[in-house]
Structure 1
């Protein structure tokens, strides 16, 4: 088996679309239209990754850079992507915001998701960004929604009493839950439209001159994130 991790290209679109449709079959087989992917590649090519297995694209991770985000602030997927336009991408921002990760069902179990997360972390380090932040689905919640609140469900996943295919994976990859998002992703019936706001800190981050200046003048910068500046994945967009 030949496995290659690389940056995504627009020439990959047809295989990317097929993989998305299969990956999201449980929520209608939604996918990014070609012009959306083309724009994303134009804005931030180094932040888009895919995995090729025997010449076929079977997994991908998409991201943008945003301004400092308050981990406690409520926002939706539509807002953070600029109504799916990626106009919220800010090259001068300090946060890598993960907008999509998916693996073709026939290729799960090969640790492809972990490889994509590692590629994202390396990108975050290379660009000297403060952190990776993402809104994470909790697809197994629908099986527990009548018995557990979202908070109790997430607590049980963290304590490994319940396995959630998305959240358990993210926790195992060094992310922590900072808050619960409501009405995050329209049509996500599995998660009841709830999501976790997840964070992975880049411990090697080097503050910018402006941040150091603020520190010297007594301006507080200990809040990792300030207000989200609104300056995915779906065909309906």
Structure 2
């Protein structure tokens, strides 16, 4: 997969590329993660070469990156899982095999998001939305039921300390436009729909370990596909 497009940085159009990533990109991808998720985010959750190798070998269609100004500035990774996996609550570790995706199921009907990130200098350019749009295209092209994944809620810790707000109430406040969250608000703008709040989804101090499962249903999917 390879596509070129323009995004706007500080009001100026810049050419960008979204493509599948390869082993030659691993060092740059790890740097993007380091830039995107500084402490207190657990640094042992950032990509390592073995995980990235599994992404490109087991499911290359779900391993994409974004380039701008001649360098990688964002990435998104996914795997396929069966619908039966989601009949009970799960954590990020359980759904993604701790990021190693050895549980990737080539027959699974759900495209599960492992990670999406854009380096801070290229946020607000639309690249994050284009990465998500590309994964929607993968969902459609493979004839899958939906795209699903847990969205961090990094603004929740501050809201909880402020007034003891529950995670569910925090989500409702975002949907009602009373609050904004850098991740959940972005996912809503991308067309993702909330499914449920999940406790102990990921070790994440800013989110108090909560996340919101959010999906995008393939409008072209048919039961007998």
Taking structure 1 as the reference length, the TM-score comes to 0.84
More strand by share: 2
Q: Corresponding residue for 1:126?
A: 141
Are residues 1:170 and 2:187 paired? yes
Name the CA distance, whole Å, in 1 between partners of 2:106 and 2:86.
20
Matching of residue 189 in structure 1 with residue 202 in structure 2 = no
Distance 2:61 2:100 in 1: 18
Q: How much has 1:35 moved relative to structure 2?
A: 1.3
Q: Distance in 1 between matches of 2:87 and 2:171?
A: 16
1:182-221 superposed matches below 5 A: 182-186=199-203, 188-208=204-224
Query: CA shift at 1:28, angstroms?
Result: 4.3
SS at match of 1:205: coil
TM-score, normalized by length of structure 2? 0.88
User: Which segments of 5 or more consecutive residues in structure 2 lack a partner in the other structure?
Assistant: 1-13
Aligned to 1:17: 30
Stretches of structure 1 lacking an aligned partner (at least 5 in a row): 210-237
Which residue pairs with 1:156 in the alignment? 173
Moved over 4 A (4+): 69-72
Tell me how far 1:70 sits from its aligned partner.
6.5
1:7–1:100 distance in 2 versus 1, CA, 3 Å: same
Q: Report the CA distance between 1:72 and its aligned residue.
A: 6.4
Pick 1 or 2: higher relative contact order, CA cutoff 8 A, min separation 6. 1
Question: Residues 57 and 2 from structure 1, CA distance in 2 versus in 1: closer, same or farther, beyond 3 angstroms?
Answer: same
Cα distance in 2 between the residues matched to 1:71 and 1:90: 14
Secondary structure of the residue aligned to 1:180 is strand
